[in-house]
Chains A and B, each alone.
Chain A
């Protein structure tokens, strides 16, 4: 009886230590146009050869939560399998007139605004279902945006591991240090999703965080 208890105990310990982490739900959150889909596309392209979603200069291009199941990310001989979840950008205001500046007609602009508001609601609902979240911030913008703070606050309250990605470091105005100063308690990785710069450090951080799941 005692031997059986010990055997089960060690079996459990070892299986937890060596099991291949499977289908970790990896969410991409952030304000609109920060580059969430660009980063998700970059990862998917690298490991599956396919894109995840369309990207555009017009804000709120992603208006529904998008998934990519079983993405096997390989880094330094290790493999982890993720379910990638790309979410619509979270905003506190949406005005269809802002889309007219991008040469959308009034009807399309109104449709886009309506879908974008629904997308924000959808993103917020999905916060509860994530295992690890990458908060993508445009490194050329002011990081003290309430949306960033609200997203991170909600993830911390739910005890979900967070990685902050300072995207668009290829741009002149990029300031990764400002983002690090704004969020000193978190890992911040500066990348360019567009050019694929510094993705090694990104993968390393993701693997490190995913071990906590």
Chain B
């Protein structure tokens, strides 16, 4: 994590970066470590693009943890979060099974993409089944 940027908080945003994390980077982490890793990236004014998706309880915990930070971290207003899954309806039963098996083995759906960004940078994430649109704060 870029500690210096993290400590500066969310005063005046002069820029941001986009970080991509392949699922292999978080595969062996437990839920605590995954959340910590994600928070470190977001609190450094970065938008995170994560290959795969978190477990439902990890998503809920991420929301809860970030809510608890609002008011304690200068100008932090929460996060924007969206997940788009590669498992479309048109998929064959065999492929669904294959992907289901892959998900079970890896601990997350690697065909999905999760985008998480601080609300100070990402104004809105418009999502539909096929795309995610990011509206950034100007």
Contacts and interface: CB of A to CB of B under 8 A. Distances in A.
Nearest to A145: B127
Contacts of B129: 144, 182
A142 B70 contact: no
B128 A124 contact: no
Interface residues of A, number: 27
Interface string B117-129: 0010000011111
Nearest to B55: A157
Contacts of A118: 67
B128 A92 contact: no
Interface in A103-152: 113-114, 117-118, 120-121, 124-125, 127, 142, 144-147, 149-150
**Interface size classification for chain B:** 20 to 34
A154 B64 CA distance: 13
Nearest to A97: B77
B59 A94 contact: no
Given A94-B77, A142-B127, A121 B68 contact: yes
B128 A90 contact: no
B63 interface: yes
Contacts of A95: 77-78, 119
A95 B66 CA distance: 13
Interface in B24-73: 55-57, 59-61, 63-64, 66-68, 70-71
Contacts of A121: 64, 67-68
B81 A156 contact: no
A113 B78 CA distance: 11
A124 B125 CA distance: 22
Interface of A: 90-95, 113-114, 117-118, 120-121, 124-125, 127, 142, 144-147, 149-150, 153-154, 156-157, 182
Nearest 4 interchain pairs by C-beta: A93-B78, A153-B56, A93-B119, A154-B56
27 contacts: A90-B63, A91-B78, A92-B78, A94-B67, A94-B77, A95-B77, A114-B70, A117-B67, A117-B68, A117-B70, A120-B64, A121-B64, A124-B64, A125-B64, A142-B126, A144-B127, A145-B127, A146-B82, A146-B83, A146-B127, A150-B60, A150-B81, A153-B56, A153-B59, A154-B56, A154-B57, A157-B55
